[in-house]
Each structure stands twice: as C-alpha cells, then as structure tokens.
Amino acid sequence: MENQVLTPHVYWAQRHRELYLRVELSDVQGLTLLPRLECSSVIIAHCSLELLGLSSPPGSAYQVGLQNPAISITENVLHFKAQGHGAKGDNVYEFHLEFLDLVKPEPVYKLTQRQVNITVQKKVSQWWERLTKQEKRPLFLAPDFDRWLDESDAEMELRAKEEERLNKLRLESEGSPETLTNLRKGYLFMYNLVQFLGFSWIFVNLTVRFCILGKESFYDTFHTVADMMYFCQMLAVVETINAAIGVTTSPVLPSLIQLLGRNFILFIIFGTMEEMQNKAVVFFVFYLWSAIEIFRYSFYMLTCIDMDWKVLTWLRYTLWIPLYPLGCLAEAVSVIQSIPIFNETGRFSFTLPYPVKIKVRFSFFLQIYLIMIFLGLYINFRHLYKQRRRRYGQKKKKIH
C-alpha cells in the first residue's frame, strides 16, 4: 500500500495554441516536500511541518523539500505530483501524460482551493485529434466540458481574438480618441497663445507710443510693429488650414476672406509702397486688427482648456460689432489713399499684348477690391452675428 500511486481526476480542453488541464485536487498548498528523513533528520522534518501548521500524511514517503505541486515537462511528457485532498483523501497524487504533439516545456499553473489549473502552450498552432500520444485514453482523463469547443468554434474564437489584437494595435498606433483630443487641444492652445501674445505686443506698443508721443506716433507705426504684424498674419494661414482639414469647426470661407483681405492690405498696399508706410491710416488699421484679435485669441485659448470667463466671452461676442466695421473702413481708406500712388508709379500696371495694346492700371483692381471689402464685411458680419445669436439668443428664450 505504501508504494501505491494515486492519480487524481484530470479534465482537459484545447484551443489551437493552448492546452488546458484541470486537476481535481483541493487544498494543494504552495509549499515543499522532501523524501522521508531517517534518524534525527525526521525529527527536524516533523518539527518543520508542525511549525507550518501541517502534518505528514500517514505512510507518505515525502515530508518537506520537493515543490508542491511539482509540475514539469520533460521530453514532451507532463509530470505532476502534489499533496492535496482528492478521491482517496489527503495524500500525494501524481500522473504522467505524453502529449500527442510537441509542446513548450514551460507549463503555467494556478492553484485554487478546489483544483489546480494548468496551461500548456503548443509549439505549433493546430488542432489535435486527442491529447495523448497513446490512442487509448487514460482512465483518470476526461474532457472538460466547461471549456470544451469543437474545432470550428475554436477557429471563430481564435479569429475574434486576432481581430481584437489587431484593433488594439491599431488603436495604439493611431492613438486613442481621448489622446488625440488632448493633442488637438494642446496644439490649438499653443497656436492661440502665440497669436494672442503677438497681437498683444502690437496693441500695447501702439497704445504706449500714442500715450507718450500723441499723434506723432501715427506716422512711424509701420516701421515699429510691421515685423510682428507680418509674423502674426503669416501664422494666420494655419487658422484657415485648421478649418479646412477639420481641426476646428469654424467655417472656411469667413476665415479665408479675413486672411486674404488683411494680407492684401499688409503685403501689397503697405508692404510694397513706402509712400503708404508713413501714413496715419496704418496706425488705425493695425490698432483695430490687434484690438479685435487679443479678445478673440484669448477666448479661444481658454476654450481649449475648458474655461469659460463670462466677461471675456461677452467681449469676444460683442466688441466685433463696432470694431469690424471700423477695421474695414480703415482698410478702405488705405486702399483709396494708395490709388493715386499706384497710378503715379505705375507699379503692378501692365499693357495687354498686340493688337489690343491697352494699359491696365492696378488702380482698376483696387477699385474692384473696395467693393469686395464690404462684401467680405457682410459675410463675416453675418457669420459673427449667427455665432452671437447661438451663444446668447437661447438664454433669452429660456428667460421668456
């Protein structure tokens, strides 16, 4: 009886890549077992067990030393030995299984109060017709119907896991929606911050110079702040691109009209004609542009970090009512003042080829542009009015 080998009940299931074994053995503790020791050593072994609060099973050939459970794979054979409570009571149980095909020699197991769960990886992902190399099934081995799948169901499960893995990889490569939203907000915050600082510098500079020099400051405005205005207006191209590619929800047309209109005034009317750079109208154009933008960009900047300052919101949706028409009026004055200068210098004028030979003055296009200024004002005014109505019109309806 002392040499009798006790085997536990073992249940198995498989997938294309893995084997699952469930050993019906309860109260398997994660401790070590040793062969029975003789003489004084046996006293040490018994004392060790007593200190651990355990007792040596009667007739057992093991006390302390071997891993419990002892699970290993050598030469494609699974070896299992553990002390626990099985069909024959509290004893040492063991079994050996030679697998049908090659497996990886690193089994993974998990102990619970009622059983030992073992997972073995197949070397080749394929479906096995049985678990063991021997055709006759061992008496202690049975299918685990709780985890059992036929081959077609297992293939569907495998495809589902593969799709899940690919989706996870795609999300990691593309970035999660929350990460992309945070990146977009961070990018827009930095853009609006740079524009706010640029136009604030222009506005403060012009204000301080006017307070110190009075009207004298009007005539050297261009040479004082033109470089910063060039930078801000060139950077404004990004704003139109953002609207075009969907980074922002702003409509493209109003942004494009403002970009082209301002850059025409800045680069063509002021930038190419030195005679225009010393005129007082430059001060009013730059001052009105910067006054509008410091409130607009600061509002957008706080929106990116989910802040709503009611005073700033009101200013953003209200100040444009007087400032936009005044800005367009200043632009129109600069165009009107530039017409005789362009006629006198002949800059950008050209003659049509033979046989027409008609000279086309650039002032003709400037007169057309005057009409377009007020058409652009109407489009932008209408857009901003709709924004203000959406922002404050709903509140009024709720009050009534």
pLDDT band at 67 (very low <50, low <70, confident <90, very high): low
Q: What is the pLDDT of residue 54?
A: 44
Residues 379 and 232 in one domain: yes
Q: Residue written as tokens 């929606």?
A: 177
Average pLDDT, the chain: 85
Quick check: 41 pLDDT over 80? no
163 domain residue, yes or no: no
Quick check: 38 pLDDT over 70? no
Q: What is the pLDDT of residue 33?
A: 43
What does the DSSP 8-state code read for residue 126?
Answer: -
Residues 263 and 138 in one domain: no
Domain assignment of residue 238, given as a range: 181-390
166 domain residue, yes or no: no
Between 271 and 58, the higher pLDDT residue? 271
377 domain residue, yes or no: yes
79 domain residue, yes or no: yes
> Lowest-confidence range among 37-51, 54-68, 257-271?
37-51
State the Cα–Cα distance between residues 344 and 29, nearest whole angstrom. 103
158 domain residue, yes or no: no
Q: List, in order, residues 6 or more apart from 240 with CB less than 8 Å away.
A: 252, 255, 256, 259
Among 130, 149, 168, the domain boundary falls at: 149
pLDDT band at 296 (very low <50, low <70, confident <90, very high): very high
Rounded to the nearest 5 percent, the helix, strand and coil shares of the chain are: 55, 20, 25
Quick check: 45 pLDDT over 80? no
Quick check: 389 pLDDT over 50? yes
- Provide the number of structural domains found in the chain: 2
Residues 366 and 224 in one domain: yes
Type of residue at 198: G
Percent over 90 (pLDDT), the chain: 55
Residues 386 and 240 in one domain: yes
Quick check: 385 pLDDT over 60? yes
94 domain residue, yes or no: yes
Q: What is the pLDDT of residue 292?
A: 94
Residues 224 and 126 in one domain: no
207 domain residue, yes or no: yes
pLDDT tens sequence across 222-240: 999 999 999 999 999 999 9
CA 239 to chain centre: 22
Residues 321 and 246 in one domain: yes
Which residue numbers are catalytic?
A: 324, 331
Among 128, 149, 170, the domain boundary falls at: 149
CA 193 to chain centre: 22
Residues 190 and 279 in one domain: yes
What's 21's domain CATH number? 2.60.40.790
Residues 204 and 327 in one domain: yes
Residues 131 and 262 in one domain: no
Q: List, in order, residues 6 or more apart from 370 with CB less than 8 Å away.
A: 332, 335, 336
State the Cα–Cα distance between residues 46 and 33, nearest whole angstrom. 12
Quick check: 56 pLDDT over 60? no
pLDDT band at 101 (very low <50, low <70, confident <90, very high): very high
Among 95, 127, 149, the domain boundary falls at: 149
Residues 216 and 298 in one domain: yes
Residues 193 and 264 in one domain: yes
pLDDT band at 249 (very low <50, low <70, confident <90, very high): confident
Q: What is the pLDDT of residue 49?
A: 42
CB contact at 8 A, 266 and 227: no
157 domain residue, yes or no: no
pLDDT tens sequence across 208-224: 999 999 999 999 999 99
Residues 145 and 185 in one domain: no
Mean pLDDT of 343-367: 88
Between 332 and 167, the higher pLDDT residue? 332
> Lowest-confidence range among 29-33, 280-284, 334-338, 346-350?
29-33
Q: What is the pLDDT of residue 16?
A: 86
pTM of the model: 0.57
Q: What is the pLDDT of residue 164?
A: 82
CB contact at 8 A, 109 and 69: yes
Q: Reduced to 3 states, what is the DSSP secondary structure of residue 267?
A: helix
